[in-house]
Amino acid sequence: MRYAMGVEYDGTGFHGWQRLGPATGAFQPTVQAALELALGSVADSPVAVVCAGRTDAGVHAQCQVVHFDSAASRDPRSFVLGTTTRLPPAVCVRWCVPVAADFNARFDARARRYRYRLVNRVVRPALGRQWLGWERAPLDAEAMHRAAQALVGVHDFNAFRTVHCQARNPVRDLQCLQVRREGEQVVFEVQANAFLHHMVRNLVGSLLLVGRGERPAAWIGELLAGRDRSRAGPTASASGLVFVGPLYPAQHALPPEVTL
């Protein structure tokens, strides 16, 4: 039987989502490896999971969605509680539901959402620092929001991906990019059909230059059109980035938080 599962994790102590092969050398903990080990223990047999979207080292997830197959006689509640018991404290399973045999957590997702939070004040944060970026210079959130609207739509995002990105096609449909201030924090909400490697962090890094007044709002559109990563801003730190979760058509009967 195939199951879909919602997974929450603090990525601080992990070397990203993806399980690393033996060719990588020294052992590095990953979220996928921890989850598969725990699931395999509950199912009493090896289990492989497929995720909606891989996250980098230090990036967190509010509701990563995975699917897996298991012939074990276990109800979804057992997979939730049993797996969470066997996971490190930084990872938990939020829900588990049976799905159709052809459901795919990656290919059936119609959108993916990220949130980036940073503290905007002179001194760095102490509380919650593992989930926050930090910028000491005053930021104009409204200017960043206006500049960000040039990125919304279907575009070639070569200017905002890492040189190590392996995606063959740089075109993505950026459905929403909002920037707002919440007291001392500046929050970036981003939704797209899919993302390139480091795309969100590179978008944030470039928008920060607008927020500090170092670049005009029109510069963001120029970067997009130029398709040159070397002209864009630096990559924002991983700590402030959370994968909020994917979105699926209602036909899959998944929980509301991941349903269109």
Token code pair at residue 2: 């195939």
Among residues 93, 89, 94, 81, the alpha carbon closest in space to that of 42 is found at 81
- Which letter, b or e, does each residue of 124-160 get, where b requires 16 or more Cβ atoms within 10 Å of its Cβ? ebeeeeebbbebeeebbbebbbebbebbeeebebbbb
Cβ contacts of 30 within 8 Å, gap of 6 or more:
14, 15, 16, 17, 18, 19, 20
**250: burial class by Cβ within 10 Å (0-12, 13-18, 19+)?**
exposed
Nearest alpha-carbon partner for 118 in 193, 186, 182, 214: 186
CA dist., res. 112 & res. 107, Å (int)? 11
Is position 173 annotated as part of the catalytic site? no
Q: What are phi and psi of 49, to 5 degrees?
A: -115, 150
Catalytic residue among 56, 69, 75, 156: 56
Q: What is the largest CA-CA distance in the chain?
A: 60
8 Å CB contact between 94 and 257: no
| Residue 169 structure tokens | 């096609």
Active-site residues: which are they?
56
